Structure 1
Amino acid sequence: MRNRFDQQLELLNEQLTRMGELCEVAIGKATTALKEGSMEQAQKVIEADEEIDQAETDIERLCLKLLLQQQPVARDLRQISAALKMITDMERIGDQASDIAEIIITEEKSEAQDIPKIIKMSEAAGKMVRDSVNAYVEKDLELSRKVIQDDDVVDELFEEVKTTLIGFIAENKGAQGVEAIDLIMVAKYLERIADHATNIAEWVEFSITGIHNASVV
């Protein structure tokens, strides 16, 4: 029975890794769409969100199966409970990447769009997602805590981007100013994605230590 249970836990790790990869790809495609003004890449982000939703359903089903059909010890129970919490954050990451894509689709590329710090935010948030899931699979407490620290970097970039775009809006009252407001929303979604990656990392810490230090998101 334990061997079967361990096999299913390994399957859980594989499915979580796959869901994390889907989230990271969605963020990457959103970044590409932002840099290139690519409607095609933006549409792929929206399509990827459906895959992420399905992954959440599949993992939730597996977790419930593990809880109902087996008798997990405390450590296993923490691992399964953390996985259930993590997929909720990953599903929201998919939603927010899709929200970014929707903005890109509805707005033409503007002069305000060429802001390297937005791209840095996207890359940093994507790495946080990847690292948080890897920390869970590898039971790497140090990596999970690094993800939590990295959130400060994204927050600082968000404040810098917001300040830059507010200045741009003050100088451009027409359509360019409106598009800059949309870019503030893009940056905010990226900041939220980083927050969700932080949540994931905190649940990883719980799965390892039994202690959960929750952030407010």
Structure 2
Amino acid sequence: MKLHLTAVFLCVAAWIACLSATSGPTSSCCLMVTDTRVHPKNIVDYKLQTSGLCPVQAVVLQTRKGKVICSEPEKEWVKRAMQKVDKEKARRKKAATCKLTKKMKTLIAVFLCLAALLLFTGLGQATGPVASCCLKTTKTRVNVTLLSRYYMQKSGMCPVEAVVFTTMKGITICSSPTSLWAKKAMAHLNAKGRTYPTTAITTPGPTTEDLPLTQNSTDKAV
């Protein structure tokens, strides 16, 4: 008799172990369905209970207050409640997706800005600052003692050949290399060692075109 009871006990234990290994921990089951009815707006979640491990087939509804209602799947109000829960879950999922998409767009925009900044920084380090060019020459003349330096602009990267003078006040004068005044001014500055042999890489200052100067042969104080 004792041997028989031991065998039954072992069989039951093995069956429970098999259920735990294959299906995981068993959830609570509705043993029966009820006629309890609530408004669908008070239902926050549900799950379908099949009649495999549980005794009946049912829809397990969860209310806002945490109560559980076991209802028949074919009830119309139960179907409406499930549809309401499904719509809310879809809406929350869509909102979460949109929020994630906005974050991704923001991160992408920040990344592109950083990449552009690094690119331009690299270009600046590789090529140096951009040279300012005289687009045309003028006949403006000033007293050569008011000039601080000059450099020769070649017609490679710039549109014209010119002598670019800078006055004591930082004003730029673009003159023709063949101008007698330009030659005189260069000779004056050469004597003082204030010259650059070729096109200089500079930060452009104001030019004579920005000032109300008349173009004539008399000397002007700039």
- So what's the TM-score if we normalise by structure 1? 0.20
Q: TM (normalized to structure 2)? A: 0.20
Structure number with higher relative contact order (C-alpha < 8 Å, ≥ 6 residues apart): 1
The structure whose residues are more often helix, as a share, is 1
